[in-house]
Chains A and B, each alone.
Chain A
Amino acid sequence: METDEKRRSEPALTGEFRLEIIQPEQLDKLPPCRAGCPSGTNIRDWIAIIAQHDRIGLSKEEAYARAWSRIVECNPFPATMGRICPHPCEADCNRKDKDGAIAVNALERFIGDWAIQQGLSLPVLEADAKPESVGVIGAGPAGLSFAYQMQRRGYAVTVYDRHPAPGGMLRYGIPDFRLPRHVLEAEVDRIVDLGVRLEMDARIGMDLPFSELRARHEVLFVGLGAQAGKDLGLAGESGVDTWTATEFLRRHNSGEDIPIGTEVVVVGGGNTAIDVARVARRKQANVTILYRRTRAEMPAIDIEIDEALKEGVRIEYLASPIAFIRTDSGDLTGIQVQRMRLGEPDASGRPRPVPIEGAISTVLASTVVNAISQEPDWSALEELHRGDGWLRAADQQDGAISAGGDITGLDIASHAIAQGRAAAERMHARLRGLPEPQPAPNGTAIDGEHIETDFYPESFRVAMPEVEVETRLSDPHLEVSATISEDEFLNETKRCLSCGSCFGCQHCWMYCNAQGFVRLESPAPGRYFVLSLDACEGCGKCIDVCPCGYLGTLSAQPRL
């Protein structure tokens, strides 16, 4: 083919015919699941270990363990995230238009639960102890992720948190019917088992001055989260019957009883609002969510909204509270609501809610929970506060302080875990004088154009089993969904299209007239054949029959 290459590169004489040849290139592409995962987990590749385990000579259990190890490289909370993550990894799955996206969330949950049952320990990366001491403020997902990544590299890590138990928002923000405490605790305990020290009930800036913390540790990570709910700023807002969502959930999740009466109004359209509403339903109250736009603009995950509706939560769209209605004695009886319509898009791109003049009504309320937004609680940490409300990850003081999680801007837990890991990798590189770590691949993911979904037999997406609504409401702590069965799990892994990575389907080998593909004796996901371009006849058939888009035309392709 050397001569062909040469000939191709020379310009053809006018009118002279030169056969246009197409040669294949084996090139791993970025799959949409990985591109969509904030924590950067290589989802396709860990699924591949299980889906292809018999072809690569692994037992089921060996494959599970290996896949789990791959996940916890990035995310030490698979059982937790398998329950609560809004799974943006599934949004662009190339299978979604065929018979449903791969249920990555359900798969992650299964493997996470399996690892807890097996009592697997998190893998240590570097056994030698490092001299630097590391302090972490906040035992939430960002702080624990940072602590885990540093501890497994040999650093002595202490995590400080003002709450009595670790977990941050995972424990105090998410109700147990979505994330049972024993699951979270098992995954946090595994991090503690690596040697991470926890100092709970430690209020930095009050019990423990920040300066002392700086003196104790060479390195600090600030993963304080955003624990303070914002006020609506309406008259009559303060009272025993009005709550911010974060405080409401913190109390509820700490086991405190909150008297709420029979009519609960929740203001806001995010996941926190939905969580509050569902908790209130479990306290047998009638619940109304007021949201100033429509369902299409609601930031909460669709499935959570659906679950809330199933549980009997009412949602009033295009409704914004304008006043609290109280009796003379101060008891809350209702909330005055301004009806809205959608106007021109605002800075966020969503249509701006515009009041409809004169359209004001009243909604009954014995308790109002305000879930419009939350922000970091800066009390006693003013020296970290830069004035715009958030701490930027780049705001590092002499490189020894880094930050991550909600303190840098509200986002999902997966994002916080990713920030904790990225900060740890950078910090480790800085302390050890290593090259700057490579950022996670963020190129364009391989799209459906390059995947021949017809080649994959139809197989419908697994659904997580769910408890009946009546049972849920009568047993408030009962987990709403259940982990899929092992058979369902195995079948779901086999649904993965393996976008951009060879899964050994053998089409190229089978149909290459020139026998240019040679099977490898010990294959691995992504590596089943050796390609010989010397034998290649340039017809490009292998590229056309490659269902997963791994084989591309020999030329520039987006590399990982």
Chain B
Amino acid sequence: MTKAPRTGERDPARGHGDTDERPLASDIARVLGDPRTWGSGVSKEGQPGDGGTFGETVADNLKLTQGSRVAVIGGGPAGSLFSFFLLKTLALIDTEVTVDIYEPRHFDHCGPAGCNHCGGIVSESLVQILATEGILLPAEVVQRGIDSYVVHMDVGSVRIDTPLHEKRIAAVYRGNGPRTSERITTEGFDRYLLDLAVSNGATVQHKLVTDVKWPEGRPRVVCGDGAEATYDLLVVASGVNSQVMHIIEELGLGYKTPSAVTTFIAEFHMGQRLIQQHLGTSMHVFLLDIPRLKFAALIPKGDFITMCMLGDNIDEQLVNTFLNAPEVRRCFPSATVPTNCCHCFPRINVRKARKPFANRLVLIGDSGVSRLYKDGIGAAYRTSKAAAMTAALHGISEEAFAHQYWPACRAIDRDNMIGRLIFGVCHLIQKLRFSRRAVRRMTFLEQTTPSSRRLMSSVLWDVFTGSAPYREVLVRTLHPAFIGGLAWNLIAGNAPNARVREDKTMVS
């Protein structure tokens, strides 16, 4: 799949150097965008230094040009989407580069060996965005279309239907299903995206990157089998569940790994029929007052149920406490949670990495900045596209990434600050029984009254799915109608006679 350099051009293994080049990709972008450079062809701005070889300037050198070599560590959504966007964009300006995606795992293996450790929820808005990019998620990648949420609290459960058609969500497997599942029954999401990158010209190197060196200002990738290769650009999309980001940190290029917390994911086998009977096509969310627990959900997927948990210092004890809670057990046949067939404690990014870029280096997806708790795939999409556009059109210098890529990351990070506030409030609701009653009552009435404005429902939906920016969610909660509605439900939901009446009608 690797495209060969054109005849008469320089050695692709070096990927840089000669001066008798065709116009460079970023030159094209700059020339078209900046009239001052018209007529002068290639501009010579920039200083000699890091990354430049003798007689070249940084600006000449820190660009992807015909025959450049790009290494992408990690073949998850971020790495695959980056490769896809980069190759597609460069193809438009007739620049052929080599893109090697280093991904040792095979996504057609079931269990952890082929998995990328996440709940596997893709919001319909992201599905639509991907469709506009020409990425049409095939039906076989989607395990089950989810059309509703059921929120379980000690004060009762309430069902929230999809507020709008485009707010539907899809459940996908990141690998090829849990440990005990049959192989190759469905196509995994990550495999689909990786194949897409390959069909656009990327090459998958099924090798584990065990070290990264930086000789003469250029990234050099070292693999487990001892093989080494030098590249013009290194893209790290390894996530936070491998050692790669620590290796990058130790290079001393200014990158500092993001803060991460432990989550929990497990799979339970139940079979489609029982799942349909007990969970339906709903994602089940639990707001329970269990110490250290922030959020937990059960997601139906084919023959399995995926369970995701967020909290502080999640450990085996917290998992057992949660799964033995009556609200959870009720979701399973005979109120018995089956033995987990696959589980892990993956880490997720909760605070952005410091300076996820340098000359010839960019970190995307979870290795850089992600959305708080939710929509990691959406964040992978945004950061990978921003990084690919920067590399294709503006160069691969630290400066280019700082000006073109970092703003996209910063926007996510700022939204996360608001997200932290919202999750703080959610946590408070979880802790306070009277507030749980109010939320439940308000949501229930919205769901059962066709003409009502779905204020609380849409807020909860977006908080759970991550399908809207947290800022937007916050703005909606500041709406007088929302505040008024909540205040009324706080009173009405906690009045003694109202509670009795509701308990009779709000059984879900």
Give me the interface of A with B, judged by CB distance under 8 Å: 4, 15-21, 54-55, 452, 454-455, 457, 494, 504-507, 509-511, 513-514, 537-541, 544-545
Chain B residue contacts of A537, Cβ below 8 A: 316, 344-345
The CA-CA distance from A26 to B209 in the complex, in Å, is 23
Q: CB distance B225 to A494 under 8 Å? A: yes
Q: CB distance A455 to B346 under 8 Å? A: no
10 A-B pairs with CB atoms under 8 Å apart are A15-B336, A19-B320, A452-B113, A507-B224, A510-B210, A510-B243, A511-B241, A513-B347, A514-B345, A539-B112
Name B's interface SS: loop
Q: CB distance A20 to B339 under 8 Å? A: yes
Chain A residue contacts of B323, Cβ below 8 A: 17, 19
CB distance from A346 to the nearest CB of B (A): 42
Q: CB distance A457 to B320 under 8 Å? A: no
Further 13 A-B residue pairs, CB within 8 A, beyond A17-B324, A19-B343, A455-B104: A16-B324, A17-B336, A19-B319, A454-B106, A507-B224, A510-B208, A510-B242, A513-B241, A537-B316, A539-B345, A540-B112, A544-B109, A544-B111
The CA-CA distance from A505 to B225 in the complex, in Å, is 7
Q: Is B433 an interface residue (CB 8 A)?
A: no
Q: Is B207 an interface residue (CB 8 A)?
A: yes
In chain A, what residue has the closest Cβ to B334? A15
The CA-CA distance from A439 to B415 in the complex, in Å, is 68
Q: CB distance A18 to B320 under 8 Å? A: yes
Q: CB distance B335 to A511 under 8 Å? A: no
Q: CB distance B109 to A454 under 8 Å? A: yes
Chain A residue contacts of B337, Cβ below 8 A: 17
Q: CB distance A505 to B208 under 8 Å? A: yes
The CA-CA distance from A511 to B104 in the complex, in Å, is 11
Q: CB distance A457 to B225 under 8 Å? A: yes
The CA-CA distance from A463 to B226 in the complex, in Å, is 24
In chain B, what residue has the closest Cβ to A541? B112
The CA-CA distance from A10 to B241 in the complex, in Å, is 32
The CA-CA distance from A503 to B316 in the complex, in Å, is 31
The CA-CA distance from A510 to B347 in the complex, in Å, is 14
Q: CB distance B344 to A539 under 8 Å? A: yes
Q: Is B272 an interface residue (CB 8 A)?
A: no
Chain A residue contacts of B339, Cβ below 8 A: 20
Q: Is B448 an interface residue (CB 8 A)?
A: no
Q: CB distance B316 to A545 under 8 Å? A: no
Bitwise interface map of B from 175 to 216 toward A, beta carbon under 8 Å scored 1, else 0 = 000010000000000000000000000000011101000000
In chain A, what residue has the closest Cβ to B105? A545
Chain B residue contacts of A20, Cβ below 8 A: 339-340, 343
Bitwise interface map of B from 96 to 113 toward A, beta carbon under 8 Å scored 1, else 0 = 000000001110010111
In chain B, what residue has the closest Cβ to A21? B316
In chain A, what residue has the closest Cβ to B265? A539
Residue from A54, A452, A537 with most neighbouring chain B CB atoms (10 Å): A537
Q: CB distance B206 to A545 under 8 Å? A: no
CB distance from B363 to the nearest CB of A (A): 17
In chain A, what residue has the closest Cβ to B266? A19
In chain B, what residue has the closest Cβ to A545? B113
B323-337, CB < 8 A from A: 323-324, 329, 334-337
Q: CB distance A513 to B344 under 8 Å? A: yes
Q: CB distance B112 to A17 under 8 Å? A: no
The 8 closest A-B pairs by CB, nearest first: A541-B112, A539-B344, A544-B113, A17-B323, A17-B337, A15-B336, A537-B345, A544-B112
The CA-CA distance from A504 to B337 in the complex, in Å, is 38
Q: CB distance B340 to A19 under 8 Å? A: yes
B253-267, CB < 8 A from A: 262, 266
Given contacts A455-B206, A513-B262, A513-B346, contact A507 B179 (CB under 8 A): no
CB distance from B439 to the nearest CB of A (A): 27
CB distance from A45 to the nearest CB of B (A): 19
The CA-CA distance from A365 to B347 in the complex, in Å, is 80
